[in-house]
C-alpha cells in the first residue's frame, strides 16, 4: 500500500489525502467519526486476539466433525461459534 500525502486545501482547510492516482477528501465530521471509532476497533481487535487460541482449537476439532460441537466451558463467548461451524462446513 502506498503512503498517503495529507494536504490542506480550500478555505475550510479540509484535509485531502492523495496516494498515486487515488484522491480522498475528508470533512471534519469524517475525521471526528474516525477518531471515535479507533478505540472501538482497537478493543474489538484485542478481544479477537485473546480469542484466537479458542478459535484455533475449535476449528481443529470442527474440521473432522459432521455435527455442531458444543463449546468448552472455558471457551470465549465473544465468537459466534455456530456461524463459524457453518462457515467451516461450507468451505469443505
Residue 22 pLDDT? 72
Report DSSP state, residue 3.
P
Residue 51 pLDDT? 92
Cβ contacts of 32 within 8 Å, gap of 6 or more: none
- Take residue 26 and report the three cell numbers written for it: 475528508
- Take residue 40 and report the three cell numbers written for it: 472501538
- Take residue 81 and report the three cell numbers written for it: 461459534
Cβ contacts of 3 within 8 Å, gap of 6 or more: 19
Residue 52 pLDDT? 93
Report the distance separating Cα 43 and Cα 50, nearest Å: 11
Q: Is the pTM of this model over 0.85?
A: no
Amino acid at each position: 500500500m502506498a503512503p498517503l500525502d495529507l494536504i490542506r486545501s480550500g478555505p475550510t482547510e479540509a484535509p485531502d489525502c492523495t496516494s498515486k492516482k487515488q484522491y480522498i477528501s475528508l470533512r471534519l465530521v469524517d475525521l471526528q467519526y474516525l477518531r471515535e471509532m479507533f478505540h472501538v476497533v482497537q478493543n474489538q481487535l484485542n478481544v479477537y486476539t485473546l480469542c484466537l487460541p479458542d478459535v484455533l482449537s475449535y476449528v481443529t476439532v470442527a474440521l473432522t466433525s459432521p455435527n455442531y460441537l458444543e463449546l468448552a466451558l472455558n471457551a470465549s463467548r465473544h465468537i459466534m461459534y455456530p456461524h463459524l461451524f457453518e462457515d467451516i462446513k461450507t468451505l469443505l
